[in-house]
Structure 1
Amino acid sequence: MSDLLDHDTCEPGVTWTTGNVAEAFPGVFTTLGFTFIHEPTDRAVRTMFHRLGVYTSAQVGTRERIEDQFFTAFAGRAATNIDQFRDVAGLIPGTSASAVEQQLFGYVRPETVNHNVYHRYPAIAAKAPYAIATLPRRHDAMFADLRRWRLAQLRVLPDADEPTALRLLADARRRFEDIMELHMVVAFVSSGLADRLAATLARYDLAGLEARLLSGVGSDENEVANDLWLLAHERLPLSEFLDRHGYHGPNEGQLSGICWREDPSPILARLADLRKITEDSPRAPRQRSAEQLRIRREAAAELAARTGRLRGRAITALTNATARFLALREQGKAGYLLAFDVARAAARRAGDHLTARGVLAEPGDVFHLSYQQLTGRPDGDHRDLVAERRARYQERLDLRLPSSWVGVPVPTKVAEHTVPEAGEQQVITGLAASGGVAEGRARVVRDPATTDLDDGDILVCETTDPSWVSLFLVAGGVVTDHGGMLSHGPIVARELGLPCVCGTNDGSRRIRDGQRIRVDGDQGKVEIL
């Protein structure tokens, strides 16, 4: 199974990236983690394009060659096939391959050329409007059902026998694919809407206003932030908080990660900081949300004054649609994490039974079996196989992939990443993702569970996921290596009113922990002071 996690051959002309997908599935896959999501994720993308009329029914289904897949792994880390997405973008009216590459992955390669074809336009015109119009309602309904289902299954699993645990694992995989399909539609549509909004604003000399217009859109993150504050102020029991948000946690994008439900110590360690935030403080989550909503309304008024009433209404409608789909992006991420949480619990329960039967040395070894091996109810002694895979997993933890590459990547070891000497590279550039300027001490964070931020520190990292929200509540600004306007970090930064520069590529390696820096979220610059 190592060939699934370490491809050593690939056609030399195929371009891959860790952008965006590294945010959804950060870190290194175990064998079970990758085989659980690989085929469902690729199938979900193809089914999504079929529902929109972009693909024919013959183009739905998994592909054997990695060059034909949208998603795979190199050196155990998630990677996306940029060329596949660019090919699809060329079939879609109202966008371009470069626009999709910019919105989804945070950059556009200068050597690329857009090539649009039109033969799928009739099918898209027939199918896409209905699919998009009904999507928000279907998305909300599926998310609510996942919440109910998760709680019900978590009550069953502690006493489940092996067949029941494996049945629930398969059910979780099916539900993961279902929500991922809707999530992919949301990601693609929101990308197109955001690109159209940016282009429209630029025509009226309002470039950059989109960051303010897309503040205060509301997302699942707001509820996590507010409930954390309520928990800190003893207005919400821990059990209720974990029922609502316990599927989050360090390394939550990996099936083998330990979520808050299993170990709440990472959030309990943050409560003292949150207790210092009073209810009427501008830093309180509800106050932050209200302020961002005010900023959004102010930006909308500026837009109306510049464009006139009739044109302003059309742009406002476009802004509202973009904001709605942005909120759905965060809801979709929470949705597949709900499926992950049940899958995680089911796998651990199956690991209990396999350990009792002598197949594994300990329950956690279950994550080094493949999904196919596990659901086939393995017999015999698998301890040597697991030991080999665990050792390879540990080796991969010390490897990093480039942000993009052609063909087969050349991983580098963490120790090989050099930090510039003081006085070098004083200005780091990225994407202006959330407005404002903040100055403070840089805290370069690799593991949010083991990092302490003081009030006003600047959070610097490769990427973020929902388990980082407690750090956002303390931080004065955010700098990320990966992502674009529609990535997790920028969305949460805008919701909480934090200056954010994303897509710096290697900012977390060029900035030293403890340095004083200035983050300019309006200009997309980070100065090392």
Structure 2
Amino acid sequence: MLSDKWIIDRTPTKRFPFYTRGNAADVLADPVSPLGWTFCWESGIVIGCRDGFVTFGVFDEDDYGTPPETFGCFGGYFYNSLMQARLMGVRMPGASPEAIDAAYFDDRPDVPLYVAEPWHESPRHAEKLAETQAYIMSAVTHQPVEDQHAIALEIRRNRPDLSKLSNEELVARARTMQPHLVAMFEQHAWASLGASFGPGGILAIAEEHGRAEDGVRMIGAVGNVDSANIATQLWDLSRIVRSDASLTKLFDESFGKGTINSETAQAMMSKIAGTKFATALQTFMIDHGSRAPNEWDPAASSYESKPVLAFIQIDRLRYQDDSADPHKAHERNAAERERLYNEFMELLSGDPETSGAFAASYASSGVWQATRERCKSNNIAAIHEVRVCFDEIGRRMVAAGYLAATEQIYMLVEAEIEQYLSDPASFKGVLAERFVDHQALAQLDPPYIIGMDVPPLSQWKRRDNSAAEMVKVGDVLKGVACSAGEYTGTARIILDPFDPSGLEAGDILVTLNTDPSWTPLFLASGAVVVNLGAVGSHASIVSRELGIPCVASVADATKKIPDGANITVNGSTGTITINSL
């Protein structure tokens, strides 16, 4: 039975008292597995995040406790530390905690105000941050991230035949990923922080000239964004299907039988062997096979571990006509971005200081937004190598009768691994019970803010009991303007990226939040509305790349807006107007 505190939950400390789900649901929407948190996060990512904030110039290492309070985990849900981000606003010359909140977290009234403490101000850190800022604004390629990308690709290409490794060897291989996660997330911290500088400068200057909408347009369509490239490759695969009668027939027959499953996908794989489609699919799996819903948890299925996920999205995309082509969309949006940039440079030509700051912000924005998404890909690739090792162990334990399902292997915590391998029978009941509890956590509605007094899990609201007042015709909902433009269409409430059956071409995607597994659905959507998120969230980034309106941080949008309502999304003003129900 689920207790009031989950086995991996943390306790807030005095220095880091508040945590938020803002910009956290993009990372881990669902409760993280015990093994995922202890093996990949506490032994890798958490340490790397600390190192990143230290080398960036925000903190000293001893500002953190043990373990470092870089992130929170409550009820199994992932949380961001408000103080960790806000300290950059305090110590960065020209910044503020409020500006950091606006850049990274949702616009919510329940976010506690920043309260200054004596240890926060630090001229020494301000000096270091000024040096870092100058480097970020120089817009040079950040080579450590590209080097790590090469490492990630090499690890994947050189993966051994896991079926021939012992369980102990599989664990040893998985552990070789932990140092990579430390190093890769150190760079991810750099990229996540650095990616806010350029857009911040663009938006501020554009707003000063009464052109905030154009500012939003100029921080998109930067190109070479890994998370957007997922959709592009799936789109190209869908075009192969659409242009090939035999492949079209195969998809029609496979999906016409009802719910497609892994067995159906395996049968499809055997039938496409040796085709152009099979070659392109293999390339996709090498490039993006590690990606998945909840991809920061190795317990989650990925495109490679569950190929049916790719087939589902290719099937959805094959019905789209070429007007949704992401290649053409990027060309259009990039041309518009460049046009606006040149227009602003002409507008600012009489002010060398402002025009110089604008030019630097524009260049930095493009480099560091792409760098941030590449950092994410690098980290996910390392997590995926952990996934394939423990999936292999899990399958063996199922075959031996020690587990009821492969996924139960992820109910271990890292400290139990060796004992489990030596005596798996003794864990059978414990892991089965944890698995039930973990599923129960997914039914809870995590508080948006967690403070020093963490509410016991028995007091958390359940998702099925969380109500919100439905909208009426004429109502206007407010969120954060994240991708410019206005679009009117039919709202479709979609909660699973692999069950988008109600979403037709041109509909408006309304969901809780998104991660890269949602990206293909953006190609079918006229606009996007998400409950959570900010300008730097996944939904916002991809919408700008594709040139469709997006409004984020629309509280309870999925509960307030009925499926099928006609709504107008204004991604320039951050408003949702209800036209008819």
Paired amino acid for 2:430: L
Q: Quote how far apart the aligned CAs of 1:52 are.
A: 2.1
Residue 494 of structure 1, aligned match among 519, 523, 544: 544
The alignment partner of 1:325 has SS state of helix
Q: Does 2:482 match 1:433?
A: yes
CA distance in 2, matches of 1:8, 1:118: 30
The alignment partner of 2:504 has SS state of coil
How many correspondences in the alignment? 522
- CA 1:423–1:204: 2 relative to 1, 3 Å: closer
Deviation track 1:437-483 (CA, whole Å, cap 9, x = no partner) reads 11122111211111222001111111111111110110110001111
Unaligned stretches of 5+ in structure 2?
A: 241-275
Q: Does 2:558 match 1:508?
A: yes
CA distance in 2, matches of 1:24, 1:326: 16
How do 1:216-255 residues align onto structure 2 when only pairs under 5 Å count?
A: 216-218=221-223, 219-234=225-240, 236=277, 237-255=280-298
The alignment partner of 2:525 has SS state of coil
Q: Does 2:206 match 1:182?
A: no
The aligned counterpart of 1:105 is 105
- CA 1:113–1:259: 2 relative to 1, 3 Å: same
Select between 374-383 and 469-478 the one with higher mean Cα deviation: 374-383
CA distance in 2, matches of 1:277, 1:356: 42
Q: Quote how far apart the aligned CAs of 1:358 are.
A: 6.0
Select between 120-129 and 459-468 the one with higher mean Cα deviation: 120-129
Say whether the 8 Å CA contact 1:398–1:414 is kept in structure 2.
Answer: yes
The aligned counterpart of 2:46 is 42
The alignment partner of 1:484 has SS state of coil
Unaligned stretches of 5+ in structure 1?
A: none
The aligned counterpart of 2:33 is 30
Paired amino acid for 2:27: A
CA distance in 1, matches of 2:136, 2:478: 38
CA distance in 1, matches of 2:468, 2:334: 39
The aligned counterpart of 2:434 is 389
- CA 1:480–1:362: 2 relative to 1, 3 Å: closer
Paired amino acid for 1:246: G
CA distance in 2, matches of 1:358, 1:28: 26
The aligned counterpart of 2:384 is 341
Q: Quote how far apart the aligned CAs of 1:110 are.
A: 7.4
Deviation track 1:216-241 (CA, whole Å, cap 9, x = no partner) reads 10111342222112211226532222
CA distance in 1, matches of 2:368, 2:16: 33
Say whether the 8 Å CA contact 1:70–1:81 is kept in structure 2.
Answer: yes
Deviation track 1:211-269 (CA, whole Å, cap 9, x = no partner) reads 11112101113422221122112265322222222112333233211111122223323
Say whether the 8 Å CA contact 2:207–2:215 is kept in structure 1.
Answer: no
CA distance in 2, matches of 1:8, 1:221: 33
- CA 1:516–1:24: 2 relative to 1, 3 Å: same
The aligned counterpart of 1:457 is 507
Paired amino acid for 2:325: A
Residue 175 of structure 2, aligned match among 170, 173, 192: 170
- CA 1:505–1:37: 2 relative to 1, 3 Å: farther
The aligned counterpart of 1:55 is 59
- CA 1:131–1:432: 2 relative to 1, 3 Å: closer
Q: Does 2:166 match 1:144?
A: no
Say whether the 8 Å CA contact 1:359–1:379 is kept in structure 2.
Answer: no
Say whether the 8 Å CA contact 2:76–2:441 is kept in structure 1.
Answer: yes
Say whether the 8 Å CA contact 1:106–1:482 is kept in structure 2.
Answer: yes
Residue 569 of structure 2, aligned match among 516, 519, 522: 519
Say whether the 8 Å CA contact 1:250–1:449 is kept in structure 2.
Answer: no
Deviation track 1:491-515 (CA, whole Å, cap 9, x = no partner) reads 1001011110011122122112222
CA distance in 1, matches of 2:447, 2:521: 26
Say whether the 8 Å CA contact 1:252–1:259 is kept in structure 2.
Answer: yes
Residue 443 of structure 2, aligned match among 378, 390, 398: 398
The alignment partner of 1:90 has SS state of helix
Say whether the 8 Å CA contact 1:232–1:271 is kept in structure 2.
Answer: yes
Q: Quote how far apart the aligned CAs of 1:317 are.
A: 2.1
Identity across the alignment (%): 25
The alignment partner of 2:123 has SS state of coil
The aligned counterpart of 1:194 is 199
The alignment partner of 1:526 has SS state of strand
Deviation track 1:365-384 (CA, whole Å, cap 9, x = no partner) reads 21100122125554332011
CA distance in 1, matches of 2:293, 2:427: 28
The aligned counterpart of 2:165 is 160
Q: Does 2:325 match 1:284?
A: yes
Deviation track 1:313-340 (CA, whole Å, cap 9, x = no partner) reads 4412211101211111221222211112
The aligned counterpart of 1:269 is 312
Residue 495 of structure 2, aligned match among 446, 452, 466: 446
Give TM-score scaled by structure 1 length. 0.91
CA distance in 2, matches of 1:14, 1:341: 32
Q: Quote how far apart the aligned CAs of 1:434 are.
A: 0.6
Residue 319 of structure 1, aligned match among 328, 338, 362: 362
Residue 473 of structure 1, aligned match among 497, 509, 523: 523
Q: Quote how far apart the aligned CAs of 1:129 are.
A: 5.1
Say whether the 8 Å CA contact 1:33–1:367 is kept in structure 2.
Answer: yes
The aligned counterpart of 1:74 is 74
CA distance in 1, matches of 2:348, 2:151: 42
CA distance in 2, matches of 1:445, 1:402: 22
CA distance in 2, matches of 1:321, 1:132: 5
CA distance in 2, matches of 1:42, 1:341: 17
Say whether the 8 Å CA contact 2:105–2:533 is kept in structure 1.
Answer: yes
CA distance in 1, matches of 2:49, 2:100: 15
Say whether the 8 Å CA contact 1:12–1:406 is kept in structure 2.
Answer: no
- CA 1:296–1:403: 2 relative to 1, 3 Å: same
CA distance in 2, matches of 1:161, 1:76: 30
- CA 1:295–1:411: 2 relative to 1, 3 Å: farther
Select between 496-505 and 184-193 the one with higher mean Cα deviation: 184-193
Paired amino acid for 2:59: Y
Paired amino acid for 1:32: L
Q: Quote how far apart the aligned CAs of 1:307 are.
A: 1.2
Paired amino acid for 2:529: V
Q: CA RMSD in A?
A: 2.7
CA distance in 2, matches of 1:426, 1:375: 58
Q: Does 2:62 match 1:17?
A: no
Give TM-score scaled by structure 2 length. 0.83
CA distance in 2, matches of 1:506, 1:425: 18
- CA 1:375–1:436: 2 relative to 1, 3 Å: farther
Q: Quote how far apart the aligned CAs of 1:78 are.
A: 0.5
The alignment partner of 2:235 has SS state of helix
- CA 1:343–1:16: 2 relative to 1, 3 Å: same
